[in-house]
Amino acid sequence: MNMLHQDKDFIIRQFSSEEQSLFCDLFEDPEVTKYLPYRSSQQYAEMFDIALEDYTKGPFGRFGIFAAENNDFIGMCLARNFADIPGQIEIGYTLSKKYWGKGIATKVSRALVAYCFSNTETNEVVAVTDLDNVGSQKVLEKAGFKRLDNLKRPDAEMAYFIVIRD
């Protein structure tokens, strides 16, 4: 099982096939999904299966975040080619509510940026949030991201953040 990051607080690693229910249950909490596009339980199950397939294709995908101390499931994160702008890599995260406000999202974001810069040639790592998701916007700024002009998509406008390789 491939590990992307490990420190005293958490581990970011590939999911195992037995962890599908952990992944899917994360998205059952309406507060956790408040700023995410609606997906059905079946769509989250399909997303998990795609995540397992993606591990065979390269450095990107969806990964589990687990507490280093007791292996408790904290949430998931992702790194992928950014669909809107070629050459940029997008990161994102979704944490279980009991782990909100503990600084984990900031540390996960920093770890993902380091992972992207060390495993790709990209010079730009980006993240987008719902315009109303002020909490995640603060997290990204604490993690070293700079806010750009909003990203306008046909169906939505998103807050848009970037980190440029030194």
Nearest-angstrom CA–CA distance, 84 and 127: 11
Percent with pLDDT over 90 in the chain:
95
Tell me the pLDDT tens digit for each residue of 45-78. 999 999 999 999 989 999 999 999 999 999 999 9
Residue 163: is it exposed, middle or buried by C-beta count within 10 angstroms (0-12/13-18/19+)?
buried
Question: So what's the pLDDT on residue 1?
Answer: 56
SS3 165: coil
Please give the average per-residue pLDDT across 138-161, as a whole number: 96
Half-sphere CA count of 143, side-chain side, radius 13 A:
30
Tell whether pTM > 0.85. yes
Nearest-angstrom CA–CA distance, 106 and 83: 23
Domain that holds residue 155: 3-164
pLDDT at residue 20 tops 80: yes
Question: So what's the pLDDT on residue 158?
Answer: 97
Nearest-angstrom CA–CA distance, 105 and 68: 15
Mean pLDDT of the chain: 96
Tell me the pLDDT tens digit for each residue of 89-109. 999 999 999 999 999 999 999
pLDDT band at residue 148 under the 50/70/90 scheme = very high
Contacts of 22 (CB under 8 A, 6+ apart): 15, 64, 73
Number of domains in the chain: 1
> What CATH number does residue 73 fall under?
3.40.630.30
State the DSSP string of 89-147: EEEEEEE-GGGTTSSHHHHHHHHHHHHHHHHS--SEEEEEEETT-HHHHHHHHHTT-EE
Question: So what's the pLDDT on residue 2?
Answer: 87
Phi (first) and psi of residue 156, to 5 degrees: -165, 165
pLDDT band at residue 166 under the 50/70/90 scheme = confident
Tell me the pLDDT tens digit for each residue of 119-138. 999 999 999 999 999 999 99
